[in-house]
């Protein structure tokens, strides 16, 4: 299996999960929901999603529609005067934490960890700059 392909697909899954976490919330939830972001962004509104804040986007639904329409995260950030570097930092830190967890659990070796960690930012940047056509 090609590691770049795995990381690329993983990045897309993280991106889509950022957009879809609010839709899974119900008014009464017996299971506490985790927050995906591990980076503390000094957002103006702490209740607002960190990815939405970095993109300077109004709602998760609008973000989902923009992604579904084939816009890249970079183009969305540019259109809304968002901070693209913060978007990349959010994704890099999330994926880095996943790699740390995988290394700690023994599901990857130290060599695999180092190889994936070295390519992480490049892969996230490539993914965030790519437009995907869904239709």
For the stretch 34-87, pLDDT in tens is 444 444 444 444 445 888 999 988 888 998 899 888 999 999 999 999 999 999
Cα 78–59–63 angle (5° rounding)? 50
> What tens digit of pLDDT does each residue of 82-117 get?
999 999 999 999 999 999 999 999 999 999 999 999
- Label residue 122 by pLDDT band (50, 70, 90): very high
Q: Report the alpha-carbon distance of residue 36 to residue 48 in Å, rounded.
A: 13
% of the chain with per-residue pLDDT over 70: 63
User: Which pTM was predicted?
Assistant: 0.60
Long-range contacts of 48-52 (CB under 8 A, 24+ apart): 49/18, 49/21, 49/22, 50/90, 51/18, 51/19, 51/87, 51/90
Q: Report the alpha-carbon distance of residue 61 to residue 20 in Å, rounded.
A: 8
- Label residue 15 by pLDDT band (50, 70, 90): low
Q: Is the pLDDT of residue 133 over 50?
A: yes
């Amino acid at each position: 299996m090609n590691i770049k392909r795995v990381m690329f697909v993983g990045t897309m899954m993280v991106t889509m999960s950022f957009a879809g976490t609010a839709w899974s919330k119900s008014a009464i939830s017996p299971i506490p929901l985790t927050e995906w972001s591990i980076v503390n962004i000094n957002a103006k509104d702490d209740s607002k999603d960190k990815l939405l804040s970095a993109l300077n986007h109004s709602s998760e639904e609008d973000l989902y529609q923009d992604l579904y329409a084939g816009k890249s995260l970079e183009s969305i950030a540019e259109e809304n005067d968002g901070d693209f570097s913060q978007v990349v930092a959010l994704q890099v830190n999330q994926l880095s934490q996943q790699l740390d967890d995988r290394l700690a659990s023994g599901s990857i070796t130290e060599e695999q960890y180092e190889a994936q960690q070295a390519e992480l930012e490049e892969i996230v940047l490539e993914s965030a700059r790519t437009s995907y056509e869904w239709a």
